[in-house]
Amino acid sequence: MKRDMDINSVNHPCFNAKARKKFGRVHLPVAPRCNIQCRFCDRKFDCVNESRPGVTSGVLSPYQALVYLDHVFEEKKNISVVGIAGPGDPFANPEQTMETLRLVRQAHPEVLLCLATNGLGIAPYIDELAELETGHVTVTVNAVDPAVGAKVYAWVRDGKRVVGPEEGAALLIERQLAAIKALKSAGIMVKVNAIMIPGINEDHIVDVAKEVSSLGVDIFNCLPFHENSGSSFSHIKEPTKAAVTAVRKEAGLYIKQMTHCARCRADAVGCLGEEASEGLMEKLKACER
């Protein structure tokens, strides 16, 4: 389906707050596996009532995603961004991720392509991402100090090797910082998400902001930890609004802040904060078959 929209980088509702009421995004849930274990993560693959990252009503193959996208464009005329944000990590499922991007780029040359990743496995794909004109990548960096990272990550899988918290965090951080540099060299807009977890990394978020700012990151998104009962951080409470505001203010001395993140599902569709229609969720499930 060809669409007639005037889309450019300022029409990304996450990278530009002014665009968020006018333009929407769709996440294609094609990446179910993950290559690390964040201790706060609780992925759910069939939950229509919950709105947070890692949750989806279905997982699609690249071709199924392309068919679903036609349904989305039929119903929503203001979608400017097609992204992949899990429900796992795009580069723990690189074949599915890259094939989806190729298919979408071929069928819809006008859309902005976007990815959200932990950064561990993205490096080998950066050249092709640039060729496909993937304009926006979000890397979630919860620590730049391995000692802090060891409290956030239970393990990291590098190929067939699984490494524990300290070594895993050191490896992940090294890869993330190298990937950010390479993405910026390739001319891609980079957002860094950092999840502020009380008692774990809340005093370290500004250090993350400083470090990634020095690498040329475009915008920084400090997200409050989302309480959930299914993770090993089930005992931790969400930080207060005042605490998040204070950290954002200090981090803002070093890098531009995003403050309108809606902590979207892996199958989010529409403007930020908008609930997906039941009709589209049904279409997503039908495409999965």
List residues near ligand SF4 by CB under 6 A.
Answer: 14, 25, 34, 36-38, 41, 43, 54, 86, 88-89, 116, 118, 138, 261-264, 272
Q: Which residue number, 98 or 156, has a Cβ lying nearer to ligand SF4?
A: 156
DSSP strands (E only) in 124-173: 134-140, 153-158, 161-163
CB of 269 to ligand SF4, least distance (A): 10
Secondary structure in 3-state letters for 189-202: EEEEEEEECCCCCC
Q: Which residue number, 123 or 261, has a Cβ lying nearer to ligand SF4?
A: 261
Q: Which residue number, 116 or 196, has a Cβ lying nearer to ligand SF4?
A: 116
Residue in the structure block whose two tokens are 């993560």: 41
Sign of the alpha-carbon dihedral angle for 22, 259, 134, 289:
negative
Q: Which residue number, 4 or 124, has a Cβ lying nearer to ligand SF4?
A: 124
CB of 56 to ligand SF4, least distance (A): 11
Among the listed residues 172, 175, 179, 140, the one whose alpha carbon sits nearest the alpha carbon of residue 154: 172
CB of 35 to ligand SF4, least distance (A): 7
CB of 190 to ligand SF4, least distance (A): 12
CB atoms within 10 A of CB 3: 11
Q: Which residue number, 19 or 63, has a Cβ lying nearer to ligand SF4?
A: 19
CB of 261 to ligand SF4, least distance (A): 4
Sign of the alpha-carbon dihedral angle for 56, 83, 19, 75:
negative
Q: Which amino acid is at 242?
A: A
Contact of 43 with 54, CB cutoff 8 Å: yes
